[in-house]
């Protein structure tokens, strides 16, 4: 979910056929039955294959050993368990992974319109909720301000 920006509902319903290894994409049918295409890389493809080998469901990419879809609750429990092991606060949920996906892409310079498309948002205002001003983004903005306005400010800080 972190590397793809999937919603919990997207993940639990993701069919094996969603993985297109030839085109290196994940075809996700999201809210409102809208399809979105997510590029994947070789390490993620390998991880998805290993995940599938665990249960070998003909239908679902993420499934129980009985090949039935995994529940949203099971994912939430797994995230809670990881949260506790890592010492994260209670505000760390499965949905935070989606926010982190969007923020990480923004930190790497991916345009918000592209992030909007990858998240499957119809509205740019929905995407803006997912974007957070992290320390790396603050540092990047600070560097850009230095480059853009260096000739407008005194050297070495405040002078009387």
Residue 42: which pLDDT band, with cuts at 50, 70 and 90? Answer: very high
60 included as an active-site residue = no
pLDDT in tens, 60-83: 998 887 878 889 999 999 999 999
User: Which among 7, 9, 46 has a CA at the least distance from the CA of 24?
Assistant: 46
Q: Which domains does the chain have, with CATH numbers?
A: 8-152 (1.10.443.10)
Q: Which of 55, 95, 99, 104 is catalytic?
A: 95
Residue 49 annotated as catalytic: no
Q: For the sheet with 19-20, list strands across it.
A: 19-20, 25-29, 35-39
Q: Among this protein's residues, is 7 annotated catalytic?
A: yes
Known catalytic residue at 34: no
Among 31, 59, 132, 142, the one annotated catalytic: 31
Q: Which of 7, 60, 73, 83 is catalytic?
A: 7
């Amino acid at each position: 979910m972190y590397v793809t920006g999937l919603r919990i509902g997207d993940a639990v319903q993701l069919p094996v056929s969603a993985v297109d290894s030839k085109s290196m994409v994940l075809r996700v049918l999201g809210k409102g039955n809208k399809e979105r295409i997510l590029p994947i890389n070789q390490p993620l493809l390998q991880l998805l294959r290993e995940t599938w080998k665990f249960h070998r469901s003909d239908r679902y990419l993420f499934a129980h050993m009985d090949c039935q879809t995994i529940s949203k609750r099971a994912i939430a429990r797994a995230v809670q368990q990881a949260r506790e092991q890592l010492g994260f606060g209670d505000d760390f949920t499965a949905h935070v992974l989606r926010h982190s996906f969007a923020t990480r892409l923004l930190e790497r310079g991916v345009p918000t319109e592209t992030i909007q498309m990858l998240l499957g948002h119809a509205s740019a205002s929905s995407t803006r909720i997912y974007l957070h001003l992290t320390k790396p983004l603050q540092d990047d903005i600070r560097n850009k301000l230095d480059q853009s306005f260096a000739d407008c400010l005194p050297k070495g800080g405040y002078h009387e």
